[in-house]
Amino acid sequence: MLPSSTITQQPFSSWTRSSIPISVSFKSRLTSLNPQFRAALVEAKPSPNPPPLSTQPKDESLKIHPLPIDRADDIQAETKAMARAVNASVYTPELVASRYGSKPFKVVGRAFEIVFSLGSFGLKLLWEQKNGVADKNKRIRAIELRTIFTKLGPTFVKLGQGLSTRPDICPIEYLEELSELQDGLPTFPDDDAFECIERELGLSLDSIFSTISPSPIAAASLGQVYKARLKYSGKVVAVKVQRPGIEEAIGLDFYLIRGLGFLINKYVDRITTDVVALIDEFACRVFQELNYVQEGKNAKRFKKLYADKEDILVPDVFWDYTSAKVLTIDWVDGVKLNEQEAIERQGLNVLDLVNTGIQCSLRQLLEYGYFHADPHPGNLLATPEGKLAFLDFGMMSETPEEARYAIIGHVVHLVNRDYEAMAQDYYALDFLSRDVDVSPIVPALRNFFDDALDYTVSELNFKTIVDGLGNVLYQYPFNVPAYYALILRSLTVLEGLALYADPNFKVLAASYPYFAKRLLTDPNPYLRDALIELLFKDGKFRWNRLENLLVQGRKDRDFSAKEALQPALKVLLSPDGEVLRNLVIKEAVRVSEAFTLGTISDTYQYVPVFLRTLVLNGIAKEPLLTSETERQSMIELRDQVIRIWRLLQSSNDFDPSILLPILQVVQQPEARKLGGRVVGGITQRLAARFLLQVLGAPTTAST
Could you tell me where the beta strands, DSSP code E, fall in 160-318? 209-212, 218-219, 223-230, 236-242, 312-313
Burial class of residue 672 in the structure, from the number of CB atoms within 10 Å of its CB (0-12 exposed, 13-18 middle, 19+ buried): exposed
- Angle between helices 292-306 and 275-289 in degrees, nearest 10: 100
What's the CA gap between 158 and 249, in Å, rounded? Answer: 13
Q: Which letter does DSSP use for residue 460 in this model?
A: -
Nearest-CA neighbor of 10 among 306, 246, 324, 236? 236
Asked if residue 190 lies in contact with residue 215, where contact means CB atoms within 8 angstroms, the answer is: yes
CA distances from 487 to 28, 282, 361, 446, 473 (A): 48, 12, 10, 24, 16
Active site residues: 374
Q: Which letter does DSSP use for residue 387 in this model?
A: P
Asked if residue 330 lies in contact with residue 239, where contact means CB atoms within 8 angstroms, the answer is: no
The residues near 414 (Cβ < 8 Å, ≥ 6 apart) are: 422, 449, 453, 465
CA distances from 59 to 51, 56, 62, 63 (A): 19, 8, 5, 7
The residues near 555 (Cβ < 8 Å, ≥ 6 apart) are: 513
Asked if residue 63 lies in contact with residue 56, where contact means CB atoms within 8 angstroms, the answer is: yes
Q: Please list the helix, strand and coil fractions of the chain in percent, rounded to the nearest 5, in that order.
A: 60, 5, 35
What's the CA gap between 137 and 132, in Å, rounded? Answer: 10
CA atoms within 13 A on the CB side of 192: 12
What's the CA gap between 170 and 163, in Å, rounded? Answer: 7
What's the CA gap between 230 and 237, in Å, rounded? Answer: 7
Hey, what's the torsion of the CAs at 75, 81, 82, 88, to 10 degrees? Answer: -160
Asked if residue 549 lies in contact with residue 515, where contact means CB atoms within 8 angstroms, the answer is: no
Q: What is the DSSP string of 552-597?
A: HHTTSTT--HHHHHHHHHHHHTSTT-HHHHHHHHHHHHHHHHHHHH
List, in sequence order, every residue forming a beta bridge with 226; answer none if it has no partner. Answer: 239
Q: Which letter does DSSP use for residue 215 in this model?
A: S
Q: Which letter does DSSP use for residue 453 in this model?
A: T
The SS3 call for residue 229 is strand
